[in-house]
Amino acid sequence: MLAAGSKVACHTFVFEKTGPIRVGSAAARIARAHAAARDLGVNIHPRHLADPSSPKQLHRAAYDAYLRLKAAAEADGIPPNLLVIVSGYRSIRSQQSLWENALNRYRDPNIARRWVAPPGGSPHHTGRAIDFSLGTRNDSSNIPALRSTVAYKWLVCNAERFGFTPYRNEPWHWEFNPPGFPTSTGPSVPAAPPRPTPIPSRSPAHLPVYAPPARRQEPSSSPAEIPIVGLPGFSPPEEKALRITTMFETGRPLNFGGLTGNFDNQGLSFGLLQWNIGTGSLQPLLREFATRFPGKVQAIFGPDAPRFFDILQPHRSLPEQMQFARSINDASQRNVVEPWRTYFARLAADPDFRQIQLRHVRWLMDVAKTFARRLGLRSERGLALMLDNVTQNGAGWLKPNRAALIQQRKAEQERQTGRPLTERQFLAVIANVVADTVNPRWSEDVRRRRMMIVNGTGVVHETPMDLARQFGLTDQPWETIPGVPSWSAPAPGTMQYPRPLSATRLRAP
């Protein structure tokens, strides 16, 4: 049985803070890491093995982290017979026989590759990958059951703290790759000092601070590259939309801890969708947290907790709140200063605050879906565009003037071409209307960001992106409606728009 208050109740996922071991797992690098694992390998105590009769090894650093993780799991009520190790370090020779079995089973190397890496290409060669026992069969045919185990949910909520990152295809497979761990040369070189948290180069309108693409990749570029991890409570098209917009907002997909200063005159912005003080969108999340978890507020914000949460109360005026927010920015008003950065980092790591964030995302996603339905958008690309609109321009983004302009341009184009717009063409119309109707100062940034979704590719901050490859974004329907053709543009004059809700406006443009 689980202890009361167990962290398993968390429904958030652990997201890669650093690239997992698969990153750039070129054969030579794997081989170096392989050699290092041989040097630094330690024997796993039989008590921690799923099959105590078959000795296994791990890289020393991974084993140390595993021991801490295991103790924490047991303290949280995970039974000792779970989260034991099924597989750790593998020699290239042992991988050879696994690979041959997989080839026999799947008959197609490209499919086999999703489940077993070819010899020389497995993260297990590094000694830093662990296959855990979750209490049910570790098998590709058993994924839903594995994902529903208590042990898996515990890992999802907690493994990141111990330096482990998940692998989408295999709930049982986790890799030890904490920030600062040398990735390319393997563990044989002295550990590099932890990389400083990059200070994102700010751009107006929260244009993406671009971080390298999600680096979790199969050794080959199979379709399995699509980094859908199964965010609880979100469909795959919703998750793709959220990953894209959160990357635009925070520089990293699903970055719960995005923190930016007052560069856009919103005081400070925090979290997945950069809720902020200036538009009043952040205060409700913080107040909810304080009401439900008063003890945590004390632990996270320390001596500053009383003053901070007093200023967040609804009876305080916005100018007062903004003045406070500015006071915890540095002189450039671009960066939040210490100890507040630390406070917000703690808050971002808290499972209960992550849940609060996700609930607010859920609400915004539903608003986005409402717009997609009203505009007749069927593709997941269309849903992604709607989420980006409501995130950056608020739940009231489709104001009457915009709705009229969209209809007008659509009709114009259809007259010119003599045929109805495709959905993508219609999305381009919407994207350009939004860009043309925001503050001219943000206009081109907004256009670049929205057109990136429409086209699927683009360059942001000099970094080329490919949403199909990085996020699996397609033109497939985001919901199935029996009997409805895949794309039917709304007839002129029938397009509906909801009343503007200025209170829910989130961002400046």
Q: d(Cα 442, Cα 509) in Å, to the nearest integer?
A: 7
Site string for Zn ion, 77-116 (x = CB under 5 A): ----------------------------------------
Site string for Zn ion, 121-150 (x = CB under 5 A): ----------x-------------------
Distance between the two ends of the chain, CA-based, in angstroms? 50
Q: d(Cα 464, Cα 458) in Å, to the nearest integer?
A: 6
Site string for Zn ion, 421-460 (x = CB under 5 A): ----------------------------------------
Least Å distance, CB 79 to Zn ion, is: 22
Least Å distance, CB 165 to Zn ion, is: 13
For residues 10 and 355, the answer to whether their CB atoms sit within 8 Å is yes
Least Å distance, CB 177 to Zn ion, is: 14
Closest-approach residue to Zn ion (CB): 173
Least Å distance, CB 17 to Zn ion, is: 20
Q: d(Cα 453, Cα 379) in Å, to the nearest integer?
A: 12
11: which 2 tokens?
């429904």
Find the angle CA(326)-CA(251)-CA(195) to the nearest 5 degrees.
90
Name the residue nearer to Zn ion (CB basis): 70 or 505. 70
Find the angle CA(404)-CA(405)-CA(410) to the nearest 5 degrees.
100
Task: Candidates 3-11, 169-177, 251-259, 264-272: pick the segment binding Zn ion (CB under 5 A).
Answer: 169-177
For residues 197 and 344, the answer to whether their CB atoms sit within 8 Å is no
Q: Is the peptide bond before 171 cis (omega within 30 degrees of 0)?
A: no
Tell which one of 22, 173, 243, 381 touches Zn ion (CB under 5 A).
173
Name the residue nearer to Zn ion (CB basis): 156 or 467. 156
Q: d(Cα 361, Cα 11) in Å, to the nearest integer?
A: 13
Name the residue nearer to Zn ion (CB basis): 118 or 200. 118
Least Å distance, CB 30 to Zn ion, is: 14
Count of residues that bind Zn ion according to CB under 5 A: 2
Cross-strand partners of 41: 59
For residue 216, state whether it binds Zn ion (rule: CB under 5 A).
no
Find the angle CA(58)-CA(59)-CA(64) to the nearest 5 degrees.
90
One-letter identity of residue 179: P
Least Å distance, CB 170 to Zn ion, is: 6
Neighbours of 43 (CB within 10 A): 13
Least Å distance, CB 188 to Zn ion, is: 22
One-letter identity of residue 34: H
Q: d(Cα 165, Cα 174) in Å, to the nearest integer?
A: 6
Name the residue nearer to Zn ion (CB basis): 51 or 444. 51
Least Å distance, CB 172 to Zn ion, is: 7
Task: Candidates 167-175, 258-266, 311-319, 391-399: pick the segment binding Zn ion (CB under 5 A).
Answer: 167-175
Instruction: Catalog residues that contact Zn ion under the rule CB under 5 A.
Output: 131, 173
